[in-house]
Amino acid sequence: MESYSTGKYMVKKYACQPKLFNLSTDDLPDLTIVKGPASLLQRFKTSKGVTIRRANIKTKIVEYLSHVENGIVKRYLNANNFPNMQRIVICEEKYSVTPDDFKTATRQKRQNRSSSTISHLKIGSEMISEHKLSKSAVIQTDLGKRLISNYLARNVKKLNITKDVVLDIDSELFLQNCTKHKIDECSCPYKLHTTPVRAYFSKSGFIRHEMLNHIKQRKVEAEMAQVDWLSDMKENFKENEAVVSIVTSADVDSLIIHLFAFSIHWTRRSDEALEKFLAFKNDLGSMQPISAALNEEVYFEIVKRLYATASIKSEQLSFEAIRQMSIKPPGKQQKHPKFWIPPKSELIKITKLINCQIKYLFTVWTHDAVLPNFLAEGMFEKGHHRKYTI
C-alpha cells in the first residue's frame, strides 16, 4: 500500500493534462504530502511530465504489418532464398463463412480452457484499427478474427515492399452473394464467395491494387484455398520455374491436402497402390478422376495386419478371429481395451467419415468448386447440443 498514494497522484496528473473530467493542475495535491517510495517521489519532482503506459497498441498494429513485411514477404524475397521471386499468394482463414454449428463447437472448447473475458462486448473499432489492437479480442471472438484476417488486404498499400513483385491476398475482405436470386432459393454455385485482392509493387514501393473478379473463392479453410492457387500457376509455368507452398500454421492437414491434390492433379505416373486403396471414377472426356471411395475390403485387411502379431498370417484368418486375438491372445491374459480392434460396425463408420473427407478433398484445385453438403445428403445427423453422428 506504500505506493497507493503515488499511483493516485499519477492518475490525477495524467487526467489534468488533457483536462479530463474538468480537472486542472490546480486540482493536484501538494507533492510534499504525497507518500510513497523516495526514489519515485524524486522522479515526480524532477520530471516535466508523466505518462501512464497503456498497452502500446499502435506499436502492436505496426508490428503486425511489420511481421507480414519482414517475417513473410521480405523473407521470401531475400536473394539468398528466392532471388527470382515474381509472385506471392497469402491465404487467410475465412471466418464469416464457417458454419455456425462448427463455430459453436470450437468456441465451447476454447471457453472450457480459457479464463473469463469481456472481449465479446467490444465493437470492431475497439478491437482493431490503425491505433488499436486487442489481442484477446482478435483471438477469442468471431468479429475479431474476421477483422484481423481482413486487415492485411484492407491495408496492403501500407506495406513497405521495394521490389518488383505481385502480392495476391485471398481473404474474406470482399465477401459476396449471388445477386440473381434470393439467398435461400439460389442454387448458383457462386451463392457465397470471396474475391481476392492483387497488389503490385516495384523498387519504389506500392503501385496499385485491384480485385481479381474472375476468381470466386468458396474455400473456407486457408489450407484448401492454398492448393487452388497452385492450379492457376501450373498452367503458366515455364521451363526452370517452380512454385513453393508454405504453411505458416504448420497444420498437419495441409500435408494431407497437398499430397492428395498432387496425386490427382499433378501426377507423374500412375500410382497403382493408391488405385488399390481407392475406387476412382474418371471423367469420360479427360479421364481425370472426379470422385473416389475407400475400398472397405482393403481397409479391413490393413486393420487386420496392423493388429496381428508377426507370427500370424492375417490374410488367412477372418476379421473376427483377429479381433478376438487382439482382445485375448491364446494362452495369455486379456489385454487392455485400448489394444482391441474396434468392432467392424465402428470401422464402417470410420470408412464413411473417410469417404466424406475424400469427397471434400476432391473440391481442391478449383476456386469455385461446389462444396458438399453432408447434412443434406444424409451423411451426418445433427443431434442434441449440435453434435453430429454418422
From 225, 247, 248, 256, select the one nearest 364 (Cα to Cα): 225
- d(Cα 110, Cα 130) in Å, to the nearest integer? 28
- d(Cα 4, Cα 27) in Å, to the nearest integer? 18
- The per-residue pLDDT for 362 is 93
- The per-residue pLDDT for 288 is 80
- The per-residue pLDDT for 280 is 82
- The per-residue pLDDT for 55 is 34
- The per-residue pLDDT for 180 is 60
- The per-residue pLDDT for 46 is 43
- d(Cα 118, Cα 136) in Å, to the nearest integer? 9
From 32, 4, 28, select the one nearest 16 (Cα to Cα): 28
**Is-above-0.85 flag for pTM?**
no
- pLDDT below 50 — which residues of the chain? 45-59, 103-104, 114-116, 118-124, 126
Largest CA distance in the chain: 96
pLDDT in tens, 331-351: 999 999 999 999 999 999 999
Residue 348 phi, psi (nearest 5): -65, -40
- d(Cα 267, Cα 282) in Å, to the nearest integer? 14
Cβ partners under 8 Å of residue 214, min gap 6: none
Query: In angstroms, what CA-CA distances link 75 with 47, 72, 199, 207?
Result: 43, 5, 18, 21
- In this structure, what C-alpha cell is assigned to residue 172? 474474406
- d(Cα 221, Cα 95) in Å, to the nearest integer? 9
Q: How many CB atoms lie within 10 A of CB 67?
A: 11
